[in-house]
Amino acid sequence: MLYIGIDLGTSAVKLLLMDEKGQILRELSREYPLEFPRPGWSQQNPEDWKAAVWEGIPALLEGFDSSQVAGIGAGGQMHGLVVLDDQDQVIRPAILWNDGRTAKEVDYLNETVGRDKLSARTANIAFAGFTAPKLLWMRENEPELFARIRKIMLPKDYINYVLTGIHCTDYSDASGMLLLDVEHKRWSAEMLALCHIAEDQLPRLYESYEPVGTLLPEAASQLGLPESVVVCAGAGDNAAAAVGTGTVGDGACNISLGTSGTLFISSGTFGVDPHNALHAFAHADGHYHLMGCMLSAASCNKWWMDGILGTGDYAGEQKAITDDRLGNNHVFFLPYLMGERSPINDTNARGALVGMTMDTSRADLTQAVLEGVAFAIRDSFEVAKSLGIPITRSMICGGGAKSPLWKKIMANVLNIPLDTPVSEQGPGMGGAMLAMVACGAYPSVEDVCKKLVRVASTTQPDPEIAARYEARYRRFQAVYPALKPIFPKLNLS
C-alpha cells in the first residue's frame, strides 16, 4: 500500500508518496505567499494551503495507482491561529507561529496571570507565537471578528478538516496553543475561560497516530483518491520531523534546521523545565518531549543569501569557509530576525552583526550567520544540560542540514556527533509513518521508526575546532545581554 505525507510549512507545502517499506516514490512542493503586513507580523491565507494541497496531490500521484493509497498524515507549522465561522469559512488570515504582534498579551499572561499559574495549567509560559495570546489580541483588536469565531484550529488541522470534514487536532500540536493541560492531555478549563472561549469552539483531541476519518466524497473526487483513504490526526511539524528521524522513546534527540530551529528531546515521562526556557509538549509517539525553539534558523541563511547578497549559490558562498577559519571568526551574528523564543523569550530582540572591522570579508559574514544559528541552538542545549539531561549525540534534519559545512559547525559548537538519516524528509515522512500506524501497517510509532529510519552519515566534532568554538560561544553569550536594553528603544514601526 501507499501513503501520502504532508509537510505544511511556512513557505510551501511539501508532499511525498511512500510505500510501507519506507521507500520515497515521489516528492514535490507547492509554494504559497507569506504576508508581513507590519514589522514583526506574519500571516497566511488558509485557502492558499488548501489550494496547494489540492493541486499537489494529483501531481504527486501521476503514474501511480491511486487506489493503492491507504492513508494520509500531515505534519504542520505549529501555533498558527486558524478561525472559522458557523459556516466553517475562514474569518481572517491565519496569524502564524513567527508573528510578534502579541507582546502586550504575552506580558499580561506571564506577568499578571503569572508564569507559575500558566506552567501549572499548561506546562508552559506564554510566548508571542503561541495561540492563546493571539486569541486575546484578536478579542482586543478585532472584536467583531472574534465574536464570529465558531471553531479554532491549527494549520495542519485545517487541511485535515477540508479532507475529512472533522474538526480535529492532536496532542503534540495542541501543546503549543497554551490552552492544553499537557500532562493530563485535556483542554484547560482555566485557560479557556481566560481567553473567553468555550470548549466546543476547540477541535476534538487525538493521538497523532489515531485515525480521525476518511476522505469526504468531494475531496476524494478532486484528489483522485478512494473515499476509503484514512486520514490520521498528524502532528506538529517538530514532533512529525522527530518521528521521521526516529527520535522517539526516552532520551533521543533531534536538531532541526528548518525555517525555525529546534532542539527536540523525547521522553517517556512528563517533565517540565522549572525555568520554562524549554517547551514541555506531548509527543507524536504518545509520550512527551522537551523542545527549545528559535524562530529563525535556515531562514537566517536564506535572508542573508537571497535578500542581502542576492545570490542562490549557497554552496559557492561557503567554499571559502575552510576548517582553519572555524572558531576563528571575529564577527558574531544574533539570529533574532523575528524576535526569539527559546530560551530568551524576547519579542523585542532583533538580528545583529557585531565585531566587524575594515578587514571583515563576505565569507566572514556568511560564516557568522551560520555560527549564530548554531550558538543559539546551543543556548537551548545548555538548558537541557542544566536539567541533567545527557545529550551525547543527535539526529539532524531540515534544509540547513543539507549543508556539510553547517553540520560541521553545529557538531563542533555542540561537541557531539550528529547523525543524518537516509531519508531526510522531515515532517512529511513523519506524517506518512503516522498514517501507516493509523492504517494498521505497524503496531506503534516506535515500531515503524525502528523498521524504517536508518542513518546515512555521521558528522563528528574535531577536538581542536570544538575547543575554539567553546571559547567563541562564551563570547557570544555576552552579546545579547549587552544589546537587550537597546532593542525596545529602537523604532521598529
Residue 387 DSSP SS3:
coil
What's the CA gap between 313 and 317, in Å, rounded?
Answer: 6
Element (H, E) at 331: none
What's the CA gap between 426 and 144, in Å, rounded?
Answer: 39
Angle between helices 463-476 and 404-414 (to 10 degrees): 80
Torsion region of 50: left, alpha or beta (phi above 0 gives left; psi -120 to 50 gives alpha): alpha
Residue 2 DSSP SS3:
strand
Of 237, 285, 379, 419, catalytic: 237
Cell 508518496 appears where?
17
Helix, strand, coil percentages for the chain (3-state, nearest 5): 40, 20, 40
Q: Which of 186, 185, 159 is closest to 80 using CA atoms?
A: 159
Q: Which of 205, 211, 208, 207 is closest to 164 using CA atoms?
A: 211
Asked if residues 416 and 394 have their Cβ atoms less than 8 Å apart, the reply is: yes
Question: What are the angstrom distances between the C-alpha of 442 and each of 65, 160, 170, 237?
Answer: 22, 22, 19, 21
Question: Any bridge partners for residue 71, and if so which?
Answer: 3, 230
Residue 237 catalytic?
Answer: yes
How large is the greatest C-alpha to C-alpha distance in the chain, in angstroms? 65
What's the CA gap between 170 and 168, in Å, rounded?
Answer: 7
Phi, psi dihedral angles at 340 (to 5 degrees): -150, 150
Cell 504542520 appears where?
76
What's the CA gap between 331 and 329, in Å, rounded?
Answer: 6
Asked if residues 92 and 72 have their Cβ atoms less than 8 Å apart, the reply is: no
Active site residues: 237
